[in-house]
Structure 1
Amino acid sequence: MVAEPDFLEQVAAVARRHGVDPGELKEVAGGVANRGFVLGDELFLRVCRPGYEADLLKETHVVPAARSVGVLTPAIVEYDDSGHLIAAPYVVMERVHGTEPTNLPTGLANQLARLHQLERTLDLSGVGEDGWGDPWRTLDELADRGYLDPGTASWLTGWFTRLAERIDGSGAKVLIHGDVAAHNLLAGPEGELRALIDWGDAAWAPRAMDFAKLPLTQVAVLLPDYLRHSQSPESEEELAAAVLWFHLSWGLAKLPAAPWPGQRHWTAPTTSRMLNILHFFTTAPPQPWSDLT
């Protein structure tokens, strides 16, 4: 392990390499997979933490593809995994000035529609596939372990069966960002989306999965606008059912997890997803959501 003073000197060396005075270098708090540093006014440095090397390399393939269809995401200026300057892979990217939004940023629907144009025929190194999972197996395991009583498990089994009937044929896989959440969005002063960042979770997956890390109240607002811009063959009802599938499936799967305090994303607490679903369906959701229970 590199000592912190030595590591910071390595970061300073990268700054100098790009013509930035180390005095203009500032670390940004947060980041599970990478440590982030502002390099002056125009550049941003991300240094990979151990275990996330493949995700950072994946980003070097995904970001150009996303930018090719007009997705707002910073260009990669340099990727280096040689260990010559920093004893870890790193990327230097364009810096986009913006802040984490507190509300749904305008323009997000259009950006996701652009991204989802990229279908499985495109060969992107390191981008794997993801899918629907098996919630029925999850329910069996939760019931066996005492997290659910048999009656509740049976009710939830029926809910997934009804959702499955609605989303049959909605499995076309597109390129998804994989972590569309407030901490990966940069917005301007008027609430407009300026960038979608951090592509380490990108995958070939059903488009509905890209709406699984936003609260359902926001998804219900976002989907009609998304479909106006999208080439999706799915109706709003089909897409809403598929999004609900992921929220419900992931929420149930997380119930037995250990608490993870101190995280800023809303899905970190073990019960957040399930309580968000409860809140959504008890506050008169619009059509087609109200028919999905």
Structure 2
Amino acid sequence: MGGVANRGFVVGEGLFVRVARPGFEADLRKETTVIPVARSAGVLTPAIVEYDESRTLIDAPYVVMERVHGTEPTGVPAGLAEQLARLHQAEGTYDLPQDGWGDPWRTVDDLVERGYVDLGTAKWLSDWFTRLAGRFDRDEPMVLIHGDVAAHNLLAGPDGELAALIDWGDAAHAPRAVDFAKLPLDQVAAILPEYVRHTQGDGREDELAAGALWLHLEWGLGKLTAEPWPGQRHWTAPLASRLLGILRFFAADPPEPWSGLT
């Protein structure tokens, strides 16, 4: 078993081994730096038992981790909002790449130049980003983020509670909204109120919603020019999924503050 970056092996009832695939060695090393910081903040994630990059036993870095029993959830597991709040308030020493808001106006201009979007639609999109830019602070302090909060990186127990947040290879120093950019918008809307309650007043729901929508829209537009990647299980893998997800979300008449973000 395993994903794009690692091969995974179950070792008995208590251990799980992840072996880095070629080209992803740095991601595995990053996890060994981030996981202790996350765990110290109370985030539910498996403990590291051993990390070895010497290539003595096998010709690849590997990490032995505590095995957490659970299954991939079909919806948002209870407790995810609180865990993200804990993570985003974590304090520690770590050297991570930075991720930001990007430049959606340039993305829109590029789509026009390459024939993907007409001028009228481009103006509508650019105006939408301009309105969103006035709804949140793009200079807000960056925090430690997981970077890939999606169903395949969540384990839920039989009671539906979150058992673990796994796979930290995309961890970064970034705006909090980035951790809400790989969940469908209806799920983001469902957990944001609880997330805000657990952040001790650090952030408003309307500002976080605007930032999350900004990223969904920008990333969805940016993927229009990518090569198709069939056979992937993640909902954002198909090129049009994000944009159609936004359409579906707003067609369902979402509540405030979302309904005021169009």
Match of residue 127 from structure 2: 158
Mind listing any 5+ residue stretches in structure 2 that lack a counterpart? none
Q: Does 1:262 align with 2:231?
A: yes
Of 248, 258, 276 in structure 1, the residue corresponding to residue 217 of structure 2 is 248
Match of residue 6 from structure 2: 34
Q: Does 1:177 align with 2:146?
A: yes
Which secondary structure state, in structure 1, belongs to the residue aligned with residue 125 of structure 2? Answer: helix
CA contact (8 A) 2:142 2:174 kept: yes
List, as ranges, runs of 4+ consecutive aligned residues in structure 1 with deviation greater than 6 Å: none
- Highest CA radius of gyration, 1 or 2? 1
CA contact (8 A) 1:101 1:185 kept: yes
Match of residue 102 from structure 1: 74
Q: Does 1:47 align with 2:16?
A: no
% identity of equivalent residues: 71
Using the TM superposition, give the Cα deviation of residue 170 of structure 1 relative to its aligned residue in structure 2, in angstroms: 5.6
Match of residue 218 from structure 1: 187
Residues 216-240 of structure 1 show CA distances to partners (whole Å, capped at 9, x for unaligned) of: 0000000001001113532111110
CA contact (8 A) 2:48 2:63 kept: yes
Taking the TM superposition and a 5 Å limit, the aligned residue runs for 1:108-257 are: 108-118=80-90, 122-125=92-95, 127-168=96-137, 171-231=140-200, 233-257=202-226
Looking at structure 2, the residues matched to 55 and 168 of structure 1 have their Cα atoms a distance apart, in angstroms, of: 29
CA-based RMSD? 1.0
Looking at structure 2, the residues matched to 58 and 92 of structure 1 have their Cα atoms a distance apart, in angstroms, of: 14
What TM-score comes out, normalization by structure 2 length? 0.98
Using the TM superposition, give the Cα deviation of residue 85 of structure 1 relative to its aligned residue in structure 2, in angstroms: 0.5
Q: Which amino acid aligns with 1:289?
A: W
Looking at structure 2, the residues matched to 268 and 217 of structure 1 have their Cα atoms a distance apart, in angstroms, of: 18
Higher RCO (CA-CA < 8 Å; seq separation 6+) = 2
What TM-score comes out, normalization by structure 1 length? 0.88
Looking at structure 2, the residues matched to 32 and 169 of structure 1 have their Cα atoms a distance apart, in angstroms, of: 31
CA contact (8 A) 2:206 2:257 kept: yes
Count of residue pairs the alignment pairs up: 262
Mind listing any 5+ residue stretches in structure 1 that lack a counterpart? 1-27
